[in-house]
Structure 1
Amino acid sequence: MPRLPLLDTIFWSALTGPHAQYASGAGGARRYARGFSPILGFADPQQPDFAALAPFCDVGEHFYCDSWTGAAPDGWQIEAESTMFRMLWNAPAPSADAAPDAIALGPEHAAQALELATLCKPGPFGPRTIELGDYFGYFDGGKLVAMAGERAHVVGLREISGVCTHPDYQGRGYARKLMMKLVYLQMARGESPFLHVMRANDGAHQLYLRMGFGNYLESVVRVVSQTR
């Protein structure tokens, strides 16, 4: 795949671009504001400016950051480390909406979306995450049982994220349908869909490859917190 500089530093690019209104930070460091996804973006991921970020974070608050492999700076600690794939759509555009019956999620669904994300653990998710893009879901008797939506974006690129299906409703194809709906909508807007998946989640990784995503890069991802 050709290199896309905005995708290489997607969270910095989003937090200093289209999502600047949802960001806080200074210098070469940004975070999503409290209530949104706890993700960090750095102008230089290999030399992250944690000192500039510190005044905007609480002690014990946990954040996700990628592409950084150095030692923890003074006043910060690494809580966890893993590896993820950043995947970019690498197939023709879908010819139709795969989930025309899906319900668009709004502020009135935020509590249910957070509850489902807390159960399914799709990645960093906050009570206001669904404000970052379009979210769609399936309901059973008023209960949200599956969802998928959008998170980081820059001109020409938009992330698919928050993909969840309640354990009691798995195996019905909800997640795939919702994701393909988002691919369809994004490509109709002239955007290339991308997503993230942990390397350890091989089942999801293989599904995304079959759907039409390709591996763009593999990156370290860490959970960090401020200690003082």
Structure 2
Amino acid sequence: MKHVLDRPIWSALATRHQAFAEGDGLARRYRPSVVPFAATATDDDESQRALGRLLPPLESSILVQTDPIVLPAEVSAVSTATLVQMTAERPMQAVSDERVQPLTPDDAAEMLALASLTKPGPFTLEALSLGEFWGVKIGGRLAAMAGERMKQPGYAELSGVCTHPDFRGGGLARLLSLFVASRIMARGEVPYLHAYDSNALAIGLYESIGFRLRTTLNMAVVRRAG
């Protein structure tokens, strides 16, 4: 039996993030202005045809799943990678630090600039609509942030963890990861995250705060021909 996180994008768009979905019961994607993720319900031919119809020509989308990624003829992979998916099943102690503050739409432009600089993963000005984001500001500048992205029944994804190069080495990524993960747990949900399997530094950080490997996933950045 498939786990709800084996096709995390599909599971989110079919449940808790239906309001952000475009598509049908075979293929769906987030509104591109929110995040460039797409998925199919299965890998059968009908779902692949639906994906081909859903993706606009020349626009890039990201697919993530445990199964090998199958694409319709008109859609090709621009790049591929292997991700680790980690979950934190054991209780975490709530984190309290007066430096951590909620980020709001007023911070969106600075959040986008930080994400563009540090590249923690796809990020847009509308990312705040997916869940809470928290940050630490130093000298009036956004030094680090972390937040939530995809959500499935009983699960919420820790995402957007990044620190400005000027402020690295101070434990801010660890602090914010713990803070967001503990808030997810306080709601009775399991926090999970994704990282490139080659990013040993990030994986080591997440292991140190209680995350454990659940599985590996295939990721592809895809584009439909014009």
TM-score by length of 1: 0.91
Quote the residue 1:183 is aligned against.
181
Question: Could you give the per-residue CA deviations for residues 94-140 of structure 1, whole angstroms, max 9, x where no partner exists?
Answer: 1x324343111111111111111111111122221121001001112
1:79 aligned onto 2:78 = yes
Query: Which of residues 126, 131, 137 is equivalent to 1:139?
Result: 137
Query: Which of residues 193, 214, 217 is equivalent to 2:215?
Result: 217
Distance (whole Å) between structure 2 residues aligned to residue 108 and residue 131 of structure 1: 13
Quick check: 1:99–1:178 contact (8 Å CA) kept in 2? Answer: no
Amino acid at match of 1:61: E
What are the residue-to-residue correspondences of 1:120-135 with 2, within 5 Å? 120-135=118-133
1:226 aligned onto 2:224 = yes
Quick check: 2:83–2:197 contact (8 Å CA) kept in 1? Answer: yes
Quick check: 2:80–2:218 contact (8 Å CA) kept in 1? Answer: yes
Quote the residue 1:57 is aligned against.
55
Distance (whole Å) between structure 1 residues aligned to residue 2 and residue 42 of structure 2: 16
What are the residue-to-residue correspondences of 1:77-116 with 2, within 5 Å? 77-94=76-93, 96-116=94-114
Q: Percent identity?
A: 36
Deviation at 1:223, TM superposition (A): 0.7
Distance (whole Å) between structure 1 residues aligned to residue 137 and residue 174 of structure 2: 16
The unaligned stretches of length 5 or more in structure 2 are none
Amino acid at match of 1:78: A
C-alpha RMSD of the superposition: 1.9
Q: 1:203 to 1:60 in 2, by over 3 A?
A: same
Q: 1:208 to 1:128 in 2, by over 3 A?
A: same
Distance (whole Å) between structure 2 residues aligned to residue 48 and residue 168 of structure 1: 49
TM-score by length of 2: 0.92
Count of matched residue positions in the alignment of Structure 1 and Structure 2? 225
Quick check: 1:76–1:227 contact (8 Å CA) kept in 2? Answer: yes
